[in-house]
Amino acid sequence: MAVSIDFDYRGNLRTRAVHGPTGGEIITDAPVDNHGKGEAFSPTDLVAASLGTCIITVMAIAANKRGIEFPGAKAHIEKEMISDPRRRIGRLHGWIEVEGSFTDSERALLERVAHTCPVEESLDSRVEVEIEIRWIDAPSD
């Protein structure tokens, strides 16, 4: 299934992306270290955001398909840029905290799914990706 996204340049190194199916909008700005004002997500920031949201989403999908309770998750991703010889993302690292009570087999399944999300699978092999899954046990009653 194809999804259309339309883009337009807004001036001052800003762009707008419009999600075809919903009309939702995202504004990007060039980062301060690359001639911009850094007043919004940069295009490469969106890659980091895509990775974190993709991991949480595919974990929730896998849990839902199997009737596993998935009460919540949080993520923190740091993006490091490099220039070798061109400017690009060099490293994405961080963590995903998953709340709830899971069996060892459920944790193994969800970790496997997390590390094969479509965004991570789409990244160039030169991008170093290190994402730790942290399990936060639900408080007992």
Q: Please give the model's pTM, rounded to 2 decimal places.
A: 0.91
Q: What is the pLDDT of residue 78?
A: 98
The pLDDT assigned to 59 comes to 98
pLDDT of the residue at 61: 98
The two structure tokens encoding residue 88: 């690009």
pLDDT given at position 49: 97
Residue 141 has pLDDT above 60, yes or no: no
Computed over every residue of the chain, the mean pLDDT equals 94
Interval 39-54 mean pLDDT:
96
pLDDT at 135: 96
Peptide bond into 71 cis (omega under 30): no
Tens of pLDDT, residue by residue over 63-95, are 999 999 999 999 999 999 999 889 999 999 999
Closest among 102, 100, 117, 111 to 58, alpha carbons compared: 117
Q: How confident is the model at residue 140 (pLDDT cuts 50, 70, 90)?
A: low
CATH number of 42-141: 3.30.300.20
Report the distance separating Cα 128 and Cα 130, nearest Å: 7
